[in-house]
Amino acid sequence: MARHLKLLVQRWSSRVFSVEVDGAPRYFGIREQLRGEPVPPDVFSEVQKQDRCYSLLVCSGDRVTGDRFHWELRDRLQRQLPPGSGVRSMSSFIPDQKGSLLKGYFLQSRAGNSSLIEDILTDLEQRNPVLVCSYSQSEDGQQWTQCLWYQSEDNPVRFCVVPSETPKHHPSVLNMINSDVFYSLDEACDVLKQCGDIIPETRSVLGMLPSSLDARRKPDFPVIVIEGLDATGKTTLTESLRDSLGATLLRSPPQCLSAWRGRFDREPPLIRRAFYAVGNYITAEQINQEASKSPVIVDRFWHSTAAYAIATAVTGPVSNLPHEGAEVYRWPGDLLQPSLVILLTLDPEERKRRLRSRGLMKTDEEEELDHNKLFRTRVEEAYRRIVGSACIALDASPSADLVLQQALLLIRAKCHL
């Protein structure tokens, strides 16, 4: 067994396990001694007596390989496993220990399917960096135990599954820095460089970077970033501002990356976020060049990269976000700071109307909207928590012309234009 896996298992009983149920994490722990505690209701309550549960945690020493494997694993499990196996996202972590997060899946097998599932899992564990556990119920139905798969035949160690308190931080927060949100160009480039062999396009992306960057250079003209969720009116406002101020309009990701954006959008968060982070530095260089000649308007920049990444990495309500003032909300030290960032805010109903009138919102399923509602509020809150180049919110619900007038007022007041 690989060394990192051995180390991992040595501290196994200090770990907390988290399973996503209805879009929110439910937690349980394990103990070596049975203490008669009740089983955690949310994760195991609906499991029938004869059923078994399994967990798979990805534990690759190489994070690019690990993240890509984790990303593909869900599809693979859904394709291979019998219907009704209920594949749920899962993670395991040591509370408050940064970098301790392992991601994986939790599944359930109906009676009669166990041997098929176990063959699939054994094969998976033999060929891939994955640690499998099985969960079974005691005769009287009062307790669940966890057994590490790789050692189950010769030396089975059974842990008792016990309830665990909700940790202070959402588990994803432990691995967010330089996995979801990058705080320097070097960190983002490192990830892309590691992908060179599997995603040849990364070489072209890295080739777009200027040879040197100077974040301290102060642009001669103001640089105004317009931020907001999709369909809040960024394109409409940025184009009007360009015309009203005789400004240059830029966007992030920059035009020169558009051919590869779709390719990186299909990759797991680590690679996708590194791509958008690098895009901001390329846009920053374009800003530096243009802001010596005229004001510059930018459609999305760092706030979008960080806020979407943070809001996607955590699940559930806004309270699961990293707390206000946390490290993840700080502006990267090596990235150009705009003169002003305006965040367009819009009533959800009006935003939905604009999305529909643009013809992009085709499904109206209640469940999907509920999910979107939580995600939307997390993104908006993350936007507001970013410091170092904080954004000013602007109500985008009035007519396009009124929004433009309000934006111009803000720009004149803050940038002396």
Ligand X SMILES: Nc1ncnc2c1ncn2[C@@H]1O[C@H](COP(=O)(O)OP(=O)(O)O)[C@@H](O)[C@H]1O
By the criterion CB under 6 A, which residues form the site for ligand YYY?
A: 230, 234, 252-253, 276, 279-280, 300-301, 304-305, 308
Identify whether the C-beta of residue 222 lies closer than 8 Å to the C-beta of residue 251.
Answer: no
- Shortest CB 237 distance to ligand X, Å: 7
- Shortest CB 350 distance to ligand YYY, Å: 15
- Shortest CB 182 distance to ligand X, Å: 24
Q: State yes or no: residue 131 binds ligand X (CB under 6 A).
A: no
- Partner in contact with 308, chosen from ligand X, ligand YYY, none, beta carbon below 5 to 8 Å by kind: ligand YYY
Q: State yes or no: residue 359 binds ligand X (CB under 6 A).
A: no
With tokens 């967010």, the residue in question is: 176
CA distance 165 to 201: 44
Whichever of 100 and 280 has its CB closer to ligand YYY, that residue is: 280
Among 151, 357, 373, 412, binds ligand X (CB under 6 A): 357
Q: Strands of 149-302 (E only): list them.
A: 158-163, 223-228, 248-251, 296-299
Shortest-Cβ-distance residue relative to ligand X: 233
* Cα angle value 59/111/128 (rounded, 5°): 20
- Partner in contact with 247, chosen from ligand YYY, ligand X, none, beta carbon below 5 to 8 Å by kind: none
Whichever of 197 and 401 has its CB closer to ligand X, that residue is: 401
- Partner in contact with 358, chosen from ligand X, ligand YYY, none, beta carbon below 5 to 8 Å by kind: ligand X
Q: State yes or no: residue 98 binds ligand X (CB under 6 A).
A: no
Q: State yes or no: residue 303 binds ligand X (CB under 6 A).
A: no
- Shortest CB 276 distance to ligand YYY, Å: 3
Among 241, 403, 407, 411, binds ligand X (CB under 6 A): 403
Q: Which of residues 226-265 bind ligand X (CB under 6 A)?
A: 228, 230-236
Task: Tell me, rounded to whole angstroms, the distance of Cα 108 from its chain centroid.
Answer: 25
**Close Cβ partners of 42 (under 8 Å, ≥ 6 residues apart):** 19, 21, 26
- Shortest CB 357 distance to ligand YYY, Å: 15
Query: Nearest CA to 280 among 147, 401, 181, 404?
Result: 181
Edge-to-edge strand list for the sheet holding 223-228: 248-251, 296-299, 223-228, 340-345, 391-395
- Shortest CB 185 distance to ligand YYY, Å: 14
Among 259, 400, 409, 413, binds ligand X (CB under 6 A): 400
- Partner in contact with 399, chosen from ligand X, ligand YYY, none, beta carbon below 5 to 8 Å by kind: ligand X
Amino acid at 206: L
- Shortest CB 324 distance to ligand YYY, Å: 21
Structure tokens at 120: 């699939």
SS3 content of the chain, % helix, strand, coil (to 5): 45, 20, 35
Task: Compute the Cα dihedral for 18, 19, 23, 24 and give only its sign.
Answer: negative
Task: Tell me, rounded to whole angstroms, the distance of Cα 124 from its chain centroid.
Answer: 25
Where do runs of H (alpha helix) occur along 33-83?
A: 41-44, 63-80
- Partner in contact with 301, chosen from ligand YYY, ligand X, none, beta carbon below 5 to 8 Å by kind: ligand YYY
Query: Nearest CA to 257 among 303, 300, 313?
Result: 300
Whichever of 245 and 396 has its CB closer to ligand X, that residue is: 396
- Partner in contact with 305, chosen from ligand X, ligand YYY, none, beta carbon below 5 to 8 Å by kind: ligand YYY
Identify whether the C-beta of residue 246 lies closer than 8 Å to the C-beta of residue 286.
Answer: no
Identify whether the C-beta of residue 165 lies closer than 8 Å to the C-beta of residue 27.
Answer: yes
Whichever of 185 and 340 has its CB closer to ligand X, that residue is: 340
Alpha-carbon dihedral of residues 186, 188, 193, 196, nearest 10 degrees?
A: -160
- Shortest CB 399 distance to ligand YYY, Å: 20
| Residues making contact with ligand X (CB under 6 A) | 228, 230-236, 354, 357-358, 396, 399-400, 403
